[in-house]
Amino acid sequence: MPNWYYDKKDLRNTPSARDGVDYETERRYRKEGARFIMESGASMSLGHNTVATGVVYFHRFYMFHSFRTFPRFVTASCCLFLAGKVEETPKKCKDIIKTARTLLPDEKFQSFGDDPKEEVMTLERILLQTIKFDLQVEHPYSFLVKYAKCLKGDSAKLQKMVQMAWNFVNDSLSTTVSIQWEPEIIAVALIYLASKLSKFTVVDWVGKQPEHLKWWDMFVQDVTMEILEEICHQVLDLYQPTQQTNAPPDSPPQLPPSKASPPMKRANISPITSKNSPNISVKTPLPPLPPAELEANPIPKHITDNSHYPYPPYTMHPAPPMPPQTHGPPPPYVQPAPMPPQPPQAWQHYTHPHVNKYYPPGPPPGRNSYYPPQ
């Protein structure tokens, strides 16, 4: 199984960073793509697991490809399309494109090209190769519910804290925490954050042991406060007001649509050099397109130069003309005349003329019996 968790240095050395996209701009692109997946999923009544799976595919994809190469909204639509099939809540590609058309302005929807369906369907193959067909993804939601059931305290405050932690998990999809830490650690960190903000102190829990200093020691081990605070700070940074001064461009310079630069050709880039990097580069160049005269007449009528398989020197005779076919109703059916009745005939015994010539009665002539009389 590939390792899908990266360090801070890996997040600052992505293909987008090597392609000239600064760190803050890449974070904004990831946030916009994740928010687009969540809005599209909510418009089509998809579950939280399907939306979260699509967002995780989105973040993993751009660890190997650049935002300048693949438009983020096309990739987001493709990730949601694949996540729907994996989580058994499939949606048709045309419905996802229709939803994207309603959510995106015209200048952003232009990245889908002249044939949006073909763009998404072709990009799906690149996505599958990029994530190495590792389709199953775990999310913090199930661990959040599991851990919350073990906590003790006021039910009203506990319910409020769990709801706040659930909202934090939803918002954490806009960050890169899903490709930095396991879902168990993310669930613990966001419960810790929700308990601090809701002023709910966890004092007792089910299964408490003397060696457990904190409630999460029962579920995860070797988790330091620095890790929990790092996850909390990344989520809290989402709620900070963004500065509009010296804002980066709204969208990175992108290649023309699919007819000018197909997605399979755009995938021929060098990913992060690590043991987890999939190799999807095209090793052989694509064949050149046929010239215009051959494309207009793909099968020539006369071939004069073919040294390997020459045509016969004799002329080809044309096929005889087909007889004209007459159309009309079929001829009427005529019933044949019945057979005349035959008189009954008596049975006669027929005797073969040579019935007694082949095997006459008695012993064969000229032979003696095997057992002569005594």
User: What are the tens digits of pLDDT across the range 295-316?
Assistant: 443 433 333 344 443 434 444 4
Say yes or no to pLDDT of 99 above 90: yes
Considering the chain, what percentage of its residues have pLDDT values greater than 70? Answer: 68
Over residues 283-291, the mean pLDDT reads 45
CA dist list (Å): 366 to 102, 362, 363, 373? 116, 12, 9, 17
Buried/exposed 81-99: b ≥16 CB within 10 Å, e otherwise: bbbbebbebebebeebbeb
Residues paired with 370 in a beta bridge: none
pLDDT at residue number 339:
79
Top pLDDT among 230 and 256 is at 230
Residue from 103, 117, 86 nearest 37 by CA: 103
CA angle, 311 then 312 then 315, to 5°: 110
Say yes or no to pLDDT of 214 above 60: yes
Give the rounded distance of the alpha carbon of 50 from its chain centre: 13
Residue from 190, 271, 258, 221 nearest 2 by CA: 271
pLDDT at residue number 37:
97
Written as six digits, the tokens of 296 are: 């207009």
Return the number of other C-beta atoms located less than 10 Å from residue 320's C-beta: 6
Q: Indicate the angle between helix axes 140-149 and 155-172, nearest 10 degrees.
A: 170
For the stretch 235-249, pLDDT in tens is 999 998 765 545 455
Q: Could you write out the three-class secondary structure of the chain?
A: CCCCCCCHHHHCCCHHHHCCCCHHHHHHHHHHHHHHHHHHHHHCCCCHHHHHHHHHHHHHHCCCCCCCCCCHHHHHHHHHHHHHHHCCCCCCHHHHHHHHHHHCCHHHHHHHCCCHHHHHHHHHHHHHHHCCCCCCCCCHHHHHHHHHHCECCCHHHHHHHHHHHHHHHHHHCCCCHHHCCCHHHHHHHHHHHHHHHCCCCCCCECCCCCCCCCHHHHCCCCCCHHHHHHHHHHHHHHHCCCCCCCCCCCCCCCCCCCCCCCHHHHCCCCCCCCCCCCCCCCCCCCCCCCCHHHHHCCCCCCCCCCCCCCCCCCCCCCCCCCCCCCCCCCCCCCCCCCCCCCCCCCCCCCCCCCCCCCCCCCCCCCCCCCCCCC
pTM: 0.68
Q: Which residue has the tokens 């829990």?
A: 205
Residue from 151, 87, 94, 85 nearest 119 by CA: 94
For the stretch 31-81, pLDDT in tens is 999 999 999 999 999 999 999 999 999 999 999 999 999 999 999 999 999
Top pLDDT among 91 and 370 is at 91
Q: Which residue has the tokens 């072709």?
A: 122
pLDDT at residue number 1:
65
Residue 143 amino acid letter:
F
